[in-house]
Structure formats: structure tokens, C-alpha cells
Homo-oligomer: A and B are copies of this chain.
Amino acid sequence: MIRCRQFAAALLTSLMFALPALAEKDQAAPTLTTPQLLAKSTSDEWRKPNPENLVVMQLANGRVLIELAPDFTPLHAANIRTLIRQHYFDGLAIVRVQDNFVTQWDDPAGDDNGDKSKMHPLGKAKATVPPEFTRPIDAKLPWTRLPDGDVYAAEVGFSEGFPVARDPASGQEWLTHCYGMVGVGRDNGADTGNGSALYAVIGQAPRRLDRNLAVIGRVLDGMPLLSSLPRGTGPMGFYDKPSQQVAIQSVQLAADLPAAQRPSIEVLRTDSKTFAALVDAKRNRRDAFYTVPAGKIDICSIDVPMRAIPTAAATRH
């Protein structure tokens, strides 16, 4: 009995073809898996993140890569770059892990339990940044609308690798709080965030945060380093004791690393045919395991693949 592996394998298996009528089920073409679909992708369907937008956060047990989204939150991206270049985050810590919600990192001295006289100085970075919770819809940005509907917004889709919601009535768009998205902690005032305290979503998408917090990007790699941490047992998932906090060794921009040390990764374009095929595969899965395809897909159930840049030898193969 290989129920585990088969169960798991089936979950990765997917159909790229249109949903056949029920009577045609047995004649449906065999599924293509995510690896199979990705293997058919062309090199121009992948993009290298701008190294000015690629944040490398080093923890003791691994590296977290975050891509900033300056087309959506440009002032926050600029302030975060300033903080990074001042080595602001080096030596800070993950101070909060709330189950099914967020992992948050910050200056521990900025916490209620901290000694505020010891807070790291913001230096040339701004102490407050305008909210940037939404932005006017920019027709010049790529936009791949998802036709499946959404509970929270009139329209959802992808732009430049990020999940986005749009409200044509108000002409606004915003990044959505899906798993792995990174936002800016703040005080009560809408302009009190500055990017020095950040959180990543580690559970069911808390979409009620949309339009109330600035979302500055997405974790491209290393989510398990943030999602598998012990949950904080203090109020709202804060770690009770400094000893529970997880140290951040350094945060750097890829642009500031020697070329040889830059992460050699690329991200599937969300306006590519292969991405569309992946989304449709997840929406209309039918194979030896699945008997009923969902027919729909939620914006936050769609992964945007990342991979190590294939070497010349590998791509030629």
C-alpha cells in the first residue's frame, strides 16, 4: 500500500486541458504534472528579478529571498532599501509567529517588552511613509486577470509575479495578502509604517488586511524557514522571552552583493503561456486520483514558480 506517495503524487498531478464533460472522463488525455509543464516552458517565459528588488535575508539555518514590488509600494521599497543599506536589519529578530496568520520581524527593542532607548536608529530612512495601501490602476503594468471570481474584490489577477486585486469602480488596485506575501507593520495611524517591521503571511490568506496595510513584496524562496518556527505563546503570537526570538544575521540587496554571490534564480512570468497552463491545471485537475475537478481556483491558491537559473549545459541538454 503506497497510499502516502500516491496521494501526494496525485496532488501534484494536474491537467492542462480543458475540462471534459463528465461522460468523457475516461477518454480524457493523461494529465501533465507541474514539473512536466515547467519542463515545456521556454527560457523567455522566465525573468530574473531586478537585483535592486531582491532582498536576501540570512537566518542561522538558511536564506529567505523576498522580491520587492516597487510598482505597487514604491515609497516603502525605497525606504526598505535605505534601511537595508544602513544594515538596519542585521541583528534584529523574528519576534512573533502567530499560528495561521503571520511571522513578523522587527527591532526587539521596539516591542512593548523592549528597551526603547536601545532601538536601532532609522538613520537616513524615513520614520513615516505614506500608506500606499492601494494605488491607481496602471494600464501600463502587465495584467493577467483570473476569471474565477473572488470573495473580496471585483477583480483579481497577477501583475509582474504578484497577486493583485482591482476595484474598477474606484480605479484602485492593491497587492493581496496571500501566503508568502510580505507587509509592513505599523501603529494605528495609517502613515506610521516605514518598513522597519515586516511580516509574512503563513496561513490562510488574511484578505481582510488588504487595503489596510502596505504589502511590499513576496517571499520567493525560504518560506519554510518562516512558517515552521515555534508559535509564540505570548499574546497574539509574540515570543514571551528574548531567548525564543530568531536572530536575523543580515539583510542585503542582491544588487549590493558581488555578482558571484547573487542568488541565481528566475521566476516564471505570470503573463506567460506556461503560467496560464499551470493555473488551468490546478483549476481543472483530472487524473487517476481526482474524480471531480474544482473548476475554479482561488487567487491565493496559485503558486508562482521560481527556479535556479539553468546552466548553459543544462538548457542545451
Contact = CB atoms under 8 A, between A and B. Distances in A.
A2 interface: yes
27 contacts: A2-B111, A2-B112, A3-B106, A3-B197, A4-B96, A4-B106, A4-B185, A5-B235, A5-B238, A6-B188, A97-B228, A133-B291, A152-B295, A178-B204, A190-B291, A203-B227, A204-B204, A204-B205, A207-B294, A207-B298, A207-B301, A208-B283, A211-B291, A211-B292, A212-B290, A227-B231, A228-B229
A230 interface: yes
A22 B106 CA distance: 33
Contacts of A190: 291
A268 to B, nearest CB: 17
Contacts of A235: 5, 8-9
Interface residues of A, number: 80
Nearest to A211: B292
Interface string A239-261: 00000000000000000000000
A76 to B, nearest CB: 14
Contacts of A166: none
A110 interface: yes
Nearest to A294: B208
Interface of A: 1-12, 95-101, 104, 106, 110-112, 116, 119, 133, 148-152, 178-180, 185-188, 190, 192-193, 197, 203-212, 223-224, 227-231, 235-238, 282-283, 285, 288-298, 300-301
